[in-house]
Structure 1
Amino acid sequence: MVNWSLVAGSALALCIGLAATTFTLEGLMTTEVLAAPALTVAGLWLMRRSWGERPAFTMLAFAQMGCFVIFAAPLSYIGLGAGMPLQDTRFAELDRLLGLDWPAYFHFAMARPELLVYAKLFYAMILVPAFGVPVVLGLTGQYIRLQQFVMASTLALCVVIVVSSLLPAIGTYFQYGLPSDTELFKANGYGGQARDIPMLRDGTLRTLDLGKLGGILTFPSFHAATALLSIWSLWSIWWLRPAMLMLNAGMLVATPLVGGHYFVDVIAGLSVAALTIQASKGLTAVVVANPPAVSTQTKSAAPGRLVVFALAAMFVRPFRKQGGRDALSV
Structure 2
Amino acid sequence: MPLLITSKWLWLSVFAILVVNLVAFWATRATLSFVGLGLYVKLALTFGGFWICMLKVSQRGKIRSPLVPKLQAFCEGMLFMCCISVVIPPLNHLTMMIPFPFQDVLLAGWDESLGFNWVAYFEWVHGRPMLISLLDQAYVWLSMVGLMGMTALIFSGDWLRTRFYMDVFFYTAVICVLVGALFPAMAAVDRYVLDPSIYTNFPEPPGVYHIPYFEMLRDPQVSVLISPVGLPGLVTFPSYHTASGVLLAICFFRTWMFWPMSLYSIIMIASTPVFGGHYFVDIFAGALFAIAAVVLLAKRPHYRDVFGAKPIKLKSLDNPELA
How far apart in 1 are the matches of 2:152 and 2:12? 24
Identify the residue that residue 73 of structure 2 maps to in structure 1.
57
How far apart in 2 are the matches of 1:40 and 1:287? 31
Shift of 1:212: 3.3
Identify the residue that residue 11 of structure 2 maps to in structure 1.
4
How far apart in 1 are the matches of 2:108 and 2:203? 21
SS in 2 for 1:49: helix
Shift of 1:271: 1.2
Shift of 1:188: 7.0
Q: Scaled by the length of structure 2, what TM-score is found?
A: 0.83
Q: Is 1:98 matched with 2:114? A: yes
Identify the residue that residue 208 of structure 1 maps to in structure 2.
226
Counterpart contact for 2:187–2:236, Cα < 8 Å: yes
Structure with higher RCO (Cα < 8 A, 6+ apart): 1
Q: Is 1:30 matched with 2:38? A: yes
SS in 2 for 1:278: helix
How far apart in 1 are the matches of 2:233 and 2:204? 12
Tell me: CA distance 1:188–1:153, structure 2 relative to 1, closer, same or farther (3 Å): farther
Identify the residue that residue 192 of structure 2 maps to in structure 1.
176
Amino acid at match of 2:99: G
Mark the runs of 5 or more structure 1 residues left unpaired by the alignment. Answer: 289-323
Shift of 1:3: 1.6
Of Structure 1 and Structure 2, which has the larger fraction of its residues in helix?
1
Shift of 1:189: 6.3
Q: State which drifts further: 44-53 or 15-24.
A: 44-53
Shift of 1:186: 4.5
Tell me: CA distance 1:218–1:205, structure 2 relative to 1, closer, same or farther (3 Å): farther
Shift of 1:236: 2.7
Q: How many residues align?
A: 294
How far apart in 2 are the matches of 1:108 and 1:118? 14
Q: Is 1:251 matched with 2:268? A: yes
Shift of 1:129: 3.3
Amino acid at match of 1:206: V
How far apart in 2 are the matches of 1:69 and 1:260? 22
Root-mean-square deviation (CA), in Å? 2.4
Amino acid at match of 2:293: T
Mark the runs of 5 or more structure 2 residues left unpaired by the alignment. Answer: 1-7, 59-64, 306-313
- What is the CA deviation profile of residues 279-303 of structure 1, one whole-angstrom value per residue up to 9, with x for unaligned ones? 3324463899xxxxxxxxxxxxxxx
Q: Is 1:234 matched with 2:241? A: no
Counterpart contact for 1:61–1:147, Cα < 8 Å: no
- What is the CA deviation profile of residues 213-257 of structure 1, one whole-angstrom value per residue up to 9, with x for unaligned ones? 1222211111001101111222231x3222112111001111111
- Selected match of 1:197 from 205, 214, 232: 214
How far apart in 1 are the matches of 2:299 and 2:183? 28
Tell me: CA distance 1:180–1:269, structure 2 relative to 1, closer, same or farther (3 Å): farther
Counterpart contact for 2:47–2:75, Cα < 8 Å: yes
Q: Is 1:278 matched with 2:292? A: no
Q: Scaled by the length of structure 1, what TM-score is found?
A: 0.82
